């Protein structure tokens, strides 16, 4: 794996000077390489890994498995483009196994996600079935620990 890309995917806030020192390369070379990766579309953007449980705004996320009939001419690509077009869909992955796609979907409530599946996703021509898994808590996201044990009190009650 490219060491520059690995460093950036670990922490995109490293300066080019810091990266140059870590890799033993001139800073100008690192700047040019990053620019080239951006121009080639290899680096698509820079994001922060956020612990959403730590803020007031709430939302619900679900992993939705999708079984489809691929189109003869375009295979799975056309279905992927249709799924990507929905604003509720955060991520789309082609999978191997029982289901063809895994989608990460966001809504304000579980009912919002249910209605999205019932009225939008399952009505797409070629969708055979869906499987929905609501994300209850994140412990690790994109390689980062987002679980704060100190802030997580055990709120279970003992009932006798």
pLDDT at 142: 77
**Are residues 76 and 68 in contact, defined by beta-carbon separation less than 8 angstroms?**
yes
Task: Domain count for the chain, please give it.
Answer: 2
Residue 158 has pLDDT above 80, yes or no: no
> 147 lies in a domain?
no
> 7 lies in a domain?
yes
For residues 98 and 123, state if they share a domain. yes
> 155 lies in a domain?
no
For residues 31 and 104, state if they share a domain. no
Reported as a single tens digit per residue, the pLDDT across 26-50 is 999 999 999 999 999 988 888 777 6
Residue 1 has pLDDT above 70, yes or no: no
Q: 26: which residues sit within 8 A by CB, 6+ positions away?
A: 20
**Are residues 76 and 140 in contact, defined by beta-carbon separation less than 8 angstroms?**
no
Reported as a single tens digit per residue, the pLDDT across 66-101 is 999 998 888 999 999 999 999 999 999 999 999 999
* Mean pLDDT, range 54-70, rounded to an integer: 88
CA–CA distances in Å: residue 111 to residues 27, 52, 86: 51, 20, 17
For residues 92 and 113, state if they share a domain. yes
What's the pTM? 0.72
For 30, the domain range is: 3-40
For residues 78 and 128, state if they share a domain. yes
**Are residues 46 and 57 in contact, defined by beta-carbon separation less than 8 angstroms?**
no
Q: 54 falls in which pLDDT band (50, 70, 90)?
A: low
For residues 65 and 121, state if they share a domain. yes
> 150 lies in a domain?
no
> 69 lies in a domain?
yes
> 142 lies in a domain?
no
> 156 lies in a domain?
no
For residues 28 and 68, state if they share a domain. no
Q: 147 falls in which pLDDT band (50, 70, 90)?
A: confident
Q: Which two tokens stand for residue 131?
A: 């499987």
pLDDT at 13: 87
> 47 lies in a domain?
no
Residue 113 has pLDDT above 90, yes or no: yes
Q: Which two tokens stand for residue 69?
A: 């009939």
- For residues 66 and 8, the model is more confident at 66
């Amino acid at each position: 794996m490219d060491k520059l890309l690995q460093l950036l995917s670990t922490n995109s806030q490293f300066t080019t000077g810091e990266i140059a020192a870590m890799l033993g390369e001139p800073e100008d070379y690192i700047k040019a390489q990053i620019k080239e990766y951006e121009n080639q579309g290899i680096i698509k953007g820079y994001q922060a890994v956020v612990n959403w449980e730590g803020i007031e705004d709430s939302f619900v996320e679900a992993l939705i498995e999708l079984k489809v009939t691929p189109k003869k001419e375009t295979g799975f690509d056309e279905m992927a483009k249709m799924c990507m077009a929905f604003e509720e869909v955060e991520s789309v992955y082609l999978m191997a196994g029982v289901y063809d796609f895994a989608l990460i979907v966001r809504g304000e409530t579980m009912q919002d996600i249910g209605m999205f599946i019932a009225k939008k996703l399952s009505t797409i021509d070629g969708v055979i079935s869906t499987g929905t898994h609501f994300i209850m808590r994140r412990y690790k996201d994109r390689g980062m620990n987002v679980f704060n044990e100190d802030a997580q009190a055990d709120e279970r009650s003992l009932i006798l």
